[in-house]
Structure 1
């Protein structure tokens, strides 16, 4: 190990111990925060600022208590809402990160928000986030047990981390022009960026039309400083399939199939 690596490690270790002291009351109530592995991601989310990580943890725990996250994690999806917004864990990348998939172009948020109510729809998407976060956390545990360090994982480019592939084929443009839909989606993006520091990687949009640019303009300010990148492809399937297969095992991901 080089002298610079030793210095970096010692600096990180001292920040970790300082953070543990500052959240000692939290650790007493939530033992998982005593674990270095868990705290690392809050430090990482705040660029290794101890004070900001402490604020993040306290605000996050308050929101999670108010939202009853533990209960949502254990709940099954409401079948009719899942059928309206089917969403799948779809295998892994070639670097053993997780891939999820959704046929977002077929989602009809305006219609389903009216049918099921905003609260029920938001509960479903919160479950997606909470369960996805746990999958990421468990997967990184496996990677570290296999020999990767948290620092090595942290330094991977976003394209080599977790993937979300959203097929926008069939998108009803009135969905992007619906004020209730846009409010709902912007709020969902805000929740992801604010309360889910483990969510990092790349969102790949395929079969995206020009009106998607309006949506990106709305959500990009929320992504500033986050660990999420956006890549957009039009309907040229040769381009986006080639790109996806450079990173993902074709046998694992269903964008290669008609769906």
Structure 2
């Protein structure tokens, strides 16, 4: 993929795509142009990409929405602006290639909304999480009210917005913001390790985990079990899955823990 974006640095290295938020002087705050560029990347991502890493240039992942976007907007414009974020972050959440967010420094407001749309989150120890919208007289508008409670629960999100509570990296790991915490400067190494593992999976399995599993969880037991049966049957019928099973049964595949 060519990198012809204003606010992103995009690079494809084999099956792994890296996307850097490139507004370092703004602590990578996301303006309208940036959210449009993110949507464009995921819409036009080639099917040769098997995993994606999103990170922020410099000392911060993302300080949230660039609040200059909200100056003198009316309610209609506000709805359209919010829906633009929804479209872009839906592209990330529903990407067939699993997306890893590499976090450091500020993961605040819209930055946390972006991170919550990704499938795996790796936090360096400088990372801190906050939802300052409550203190600024506004409300989350980038899908945070849907995605963040899935990670940490409604009560914790409510507390963050009512009181301005900030979670640091280790606390965030314990409550569910990230799946990994790494020493500062080592987050990319971990993210690449995970991306390489993910890229080696069968594509149908990755697609099922990014697109079907969330619907199973939210669809109720009857719908969920039917989706599970159908997805299980489709995935095991793929030629690649059959070969992997044959390799395991004939002793050519690694066993768990090896």
Shorter chain as denominator, the TM-score bin is 0.3 to 0.5
Q: Which has the higher strand share?
A: 2
Superposition TM-score, scaled by structure 2 size: 0.35
Q: Which has the higher helix share?
A: 1
Higher relative contact order (CA 8 A, sep 6+): 1
Superposition TM-score, scaled by structure 1 size: 0.35
